[in-house]
């Protein structure tokens, strides 16, 4: 087999999968919303001529933009603290940094409501009730996305040249001036890249907007779901989806342009971390960590606390909330969550590994891995229903949709590991007579194992917590933990709320296991604290 034939063969599987599960449904979605009566432009601009839909479009854009600004303002100080200062517990914070990212959206939404909703913990302590306001959704967005900015900022600051910083300080620059003249120009592309991802996550988000947005502050994604699931207005929903595709593609193009400008950082001239010096440094540490705890930890703590004080776990009555764990619906939802997620993760692992190996020397193939990030789960499910109506209610379609949203995490993680793996390992194996297949199994795969494990863990967290796809494509008997929680939240009464709390704790336990695979076992940085 020729040298170029192997990457081409590896690329065939993920490319065919993207064509069948993403590209073709997206084209069908666009065709559904494109009129054939000669009034295509009029139909395309119809959402902007309707006050209600125009507000949905403007608000979807605005809430994503506001989240980006808040994440930058709040995340940059924490990133500086983690990159420049060495203090007890720093390694633990780094490992816990991505915890909010793997928590299912519905659990996060329930945590925010438990904290700042009508009967929230902070409300009972005299805090504001944010129900029915835009702040509730913005808080939920920050819960998920602050860690993305902090991680990017930390990695970027660790690549800043120590000699340039020393030269600036030698020439009399204050720490603040040195930051703006030396550090900020170096880290700005990294932060802009992270903010593009944050914008995409918020603009195309569904679960948080559905639960926290309310009637006024719901996003376009929620409106598309309402038009399809409740009003059967497929044409209008397709037009909105088309606008979403165009706007997300524009942001994704900007993200790709920034990524191309990021040079591979060197590792020889890093600024060493130092112990906090003086009250100013310690105050910055306390404030930065306090902000992180308030935004990213309290919603999860609030769920457990609310369940405990409401008697969810210690009540011994017939209607105690913890009894929901013994119900047949819960057992079936847990089983469905595990089997659908496991099947999707297996498929995502195969697709992601093949895509990463094929894209090692191909910029075009590497770019294609971002395609699933451009299309929201709502539009994925909607397009699949339009293109494959005979497959409605088929488990294979549901698993493929899960895998589509999960496999880019595997591909990106493995691709990054391949970039840092020296080629002479494989060359040595081949010189000793190993076949390409044997060299892969004995050399490449063991070296990729940590990155593959982290990618699989992210993929598993995505599959376990998937909500929008389940609402569209699953049958009633295929309810997962996320859809079961949503069902309880939609029913009146305190008992259903308590049951939702217990189910959310169960779902958190599953994602905590995934989190352990991501950071606690996959972390490469030792604990120096």
116: left (phi over 0), alpha (psi -120 to 50) or beta: alpha
What's the farthest any 2 CA atoms get from each other in the chain? 74
Q: Which two tokens stand for residue 433?
A: 């007579």
16-50 exposure pattern, b = at least 16 Cβ within 10 A, e = fewer:
ebbeebbbebbebbbebbeeeeeeeeebbebbeee
pLDDT given at position 528: 33
Please give the Cα distance from 220 to 242 (Å, whole number): 11
Q: Which two tokens stand for residue 337?
A: 């969550």
Residue ranges of the chain that CATH labels 1.10.3720.10? 13-44+317-529, 49-309
Please check whether residue 143 is in contact with residue 72, taking contact to mean a CB–CB distance below 8 angstroms.
no
Please give the Cα distance from 306 to 63 (Å, whole number): 28
Among candidate residues 98, 398, 379, the one with its CA nearest the CA of residue 219: 379
Q: Please, what are the averages of pLDDT over each run of 10 residues along the chain (529 residues)?
A: 55 85 83 63 72 85 92 90 82 78 80 78 73 84 88 82 75 75 79 84 81 82 78 73 77 64 52 77 85 84 74 56 79 89 91 82 71 76 82 83 88 75 58 60 67 82 82 81 83 77 82 67 42
Q: Which two tokens stand for residue 131?
A: 């129900």
CATH classification for the domain delimited by 49-309, as one of 3.40.50.300, 1.10.8.50, 1.10.3720.10, 3.20.20.70: 1.10.3720.10
Residues in the chain: 529
Please give the Cα distance from 178 to 176 (Å, whole number): 5
Among candidate residues 330, 291, 328, 359, the one with its CA nearest the CA of residue 485: 330
Query: Which residue reads 């863990």 in tokens?
Result: 457
- Burial environment of residue 7 by CB neighbours within 10 A (0 to 12, 13 to 18, 19 or more): middle
pLDDT given at position 128: 72
Q: Which CATH code fits 13-44+317-529?
A: 1.10.3720.10
Per DSSP, the residues of 59-84 read HHHHHHHHHHHHHHHHHHHHHHHHHH
Among candidate residues 207, 518, 185, the one with its CA nearest the CA of residue 376: 207
Please give the Cα distance from 103 to 208 (Å, whole number): 12
Please give the Cα distance from 471 to 466 (Å, whole number): 9
Sorted by sequence, the CB contacts under 8 Å of residue 459 that are 6+ apart come out as 344, 345, 348, 349, 352, 406, 407, 409, 410
Q: How far apart are the first and last CA of the chain?
A: 51
């Amino acid at each position: 087999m020729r040298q170029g034939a192997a990457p081409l063969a590896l690329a065939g599987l993920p490319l065919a999968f993207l064509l069948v599960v993403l590209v073709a449904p997206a084209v069908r979605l666009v065709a559904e919303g494109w009129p054939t009566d000669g009034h295509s432009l009029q139909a395309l601009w119809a959402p902007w001529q309707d006050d209600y839909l125009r507000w949905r479009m403007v608000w979807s854009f605005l809430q994503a933009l506001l989240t980006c600004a808040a994440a930058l303002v709040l995340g940059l100080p924490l990133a500086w603290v983690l990159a420049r200062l060495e203090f007890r517990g720093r390694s633990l914070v780094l490992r816990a940094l991505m915890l909010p990212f793997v928590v299912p959206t519905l659990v996060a939404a329930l945590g925010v409501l438990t904290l700042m909703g009508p009967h929230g913990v902070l409300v009972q302590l005299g805090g504001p009730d944010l129900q029915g306001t835009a702040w509730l959704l913005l808080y939920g967005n920050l819960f998920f996305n602050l860690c993305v900015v902090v991680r990017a900022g930390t990695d970027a600051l660790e690549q800043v040249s120590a000699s340039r910083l020393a030269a600036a300080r030698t020439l009399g620059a204050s720490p603040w001036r040195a930051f703006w003249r030396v550090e900020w120009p170096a880290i700005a592309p990294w932060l802009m890249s992270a903010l593009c991802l944050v914008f995409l996550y918020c603009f195309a988000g569904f679960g948080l907007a559905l639960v926290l947005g309310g009637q006024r502050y719901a996003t376009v994604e929620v409106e598309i779901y309402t038009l399809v699931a409740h009003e059967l207005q497929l044409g209008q929903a397709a037009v909105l989806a088309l606008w979403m595709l165009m706007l997300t593609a524009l942001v994704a193009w900007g993200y790709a342009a920034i990524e191309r400008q990021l040079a591979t950082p060197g590792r020889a001239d890093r600024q060493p971390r130092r112990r906090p010096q003086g009250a100013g440094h310690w105050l910055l540490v306390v404030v930065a960590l306090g902000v992180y705890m308030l935004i990213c930890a309290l919603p999860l703590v609030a769920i457990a606390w609310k369940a405990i004080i409401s008697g969810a776990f210690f009540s011994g009555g017939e209607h105690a909330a913890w009894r929901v764990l013994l119900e047949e619906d819960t057992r079936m939802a847990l089983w469905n969550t595990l089997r659908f997620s496991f099947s999707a993760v297996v498929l995502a692992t195969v697709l992601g590994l093949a895509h990463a190996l094929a894209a090692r020397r191909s910029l075009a193939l590497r770019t294609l891995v971002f395609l699933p990030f451009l299309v929201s789960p709502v539009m994925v499910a909607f397009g699949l229903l339009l293109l494959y109506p005979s497959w409605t209610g088929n488990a294979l379609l549901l698993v493929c949709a899960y895998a589509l949203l999960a496999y880019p995490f595997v591909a990106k993680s493995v691709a990054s590991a391949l970039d840092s793996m020296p080629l002479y390992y494989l060359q040595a194996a081949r010189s000793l007579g190993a076949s390409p297949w044997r060299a892969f199994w004995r050399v490449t795969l063991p070296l990729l194992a940590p990155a593959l494990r982290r990618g699989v863990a992210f993929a598993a967290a995505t599959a376990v917590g998937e909500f929008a796809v389940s609402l569209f494509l699953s049958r009633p008997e295929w309810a997962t933990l996320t859809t079961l929680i949503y069902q309880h939240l939609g029913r009146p009464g305190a008992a259903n709320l308590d049951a939702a709390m217990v189910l959310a704790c169960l779902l958190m336990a599953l994602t905590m296991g995934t989190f352990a695979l991501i950071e606690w076992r996959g972390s490469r940085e030792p604990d120096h604290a």
